[in-house]
Amino acid sequence: MGLLHGWQTCPRCRTPLEGEASPLHCPGCDSTYYANSAPCVSALVEDAEGRLLLARRAVEPYLGLWDCPGGFLEEGEDPLDGLRRELAEETGLVVGAVRFVGIWMDVYGDAPDAAATLNIYWAVELEEGQPVAADDVAELRWFGADELPTTDELAFSTVEHALAARRERRAPDAA
Ligand SMILES: [Zn+2]
């Protein structure tokens, strides 16, 4: 299972690879291939009334389920640059100040070669713009605290974790 699932020959020189799982080694050109978790960035976007912006997925995996706006980082990309890029691509929104929320692990779907993902969440304030769904988002919707989708309507377990962290922060201080 994972990123190197099904790899049989070296993509550089086509020699059969050695090893059962990460790392795989090529005896032909001495390349070694490691499977790492793919880094993803996501945003908890709130409006002035405290409603949360969620995005309904237009692509597999989990097509039709609700997700936080965000996506995979590009190679070498600064995480916050990636967050701003994904928000612009998927919603047209411009991100202002951000606050770190947490990091959670997940898997991108259930295919044998599904990538393990490392998901970084920030709560973001908006600088400007009205959300308009684009890219791999079918629909954007603002949800009040009592209107949020149920667990089986959420795309990824990381969204559940991030929503739980948000609930904790918003809960009245019992101390
Ligand atoms: Zn090779």
The rounded Å distance from CA 9 to ligand 1 centre is 8
Ligand 1 mean position to 86 CA, how many Å? 35
Distance 31 CA to ligand 1 centre (A): 6
Distance in Å, CA 112 to ligand 1 centroid: 23
Residue whose C-alpha is closest to residue 130's, from 173, 100, 87, 73: 87
What DSSP assignment string belongs to 93-105? -EEEEEEEEEEEE
The pTM score is: 0.90
pLDDT for 48: 85
Q: Which helix (H) or strand (E) holds 85?
A: helix 79-91
For residue 174, the tally of other CB atoms under 10 A from its CB is: 4
Question: Facing residues of 18 across strands?
Answer: 25
Q: Is 67 helix (H, G, I), strand (E, B) or coil?
A: strand
Beta bridge partners of residue 122, listed in sequence order? 43, 100
Report the pLDDT value the prediction gives residue 165, as an integer from 0 to 100. 94
Q: Would you state the pLDDT for residue 174?
A: 47
Q: Cite the beta strand spans of 34-143 per DSSP E.
A: 38-46, 52-57, 66-67, 70-72, 94-107, 116-128, 137-143
Q: What is the pLDDT along the chain (175 residues), one digit of tens a residue?
A: 688 999 999 999 999 999 988 999 999 999 999 999 999 999 999 988 889 999 999 999 999 999 999 999 999 999 999 999 999 999 999 988 999 999 999 999 988 889 999 999 999 988 777 888 888 899 999 999 999 999 999 999 999 999 999 989 877 654 4
**Distance in Å, CA 36 to ligand 1 centroid:** 19
Give the phi and the psi of residue 103 in degrees, each rounded to 5: -125, 130
CA–centroid distance, residue 10 to ligand 1 (Å): 5
The strand pair at 116-128 and 38-46 is best described as parallel
Q: How many CB atoms lie within 10 A of CB 164?
A: 11
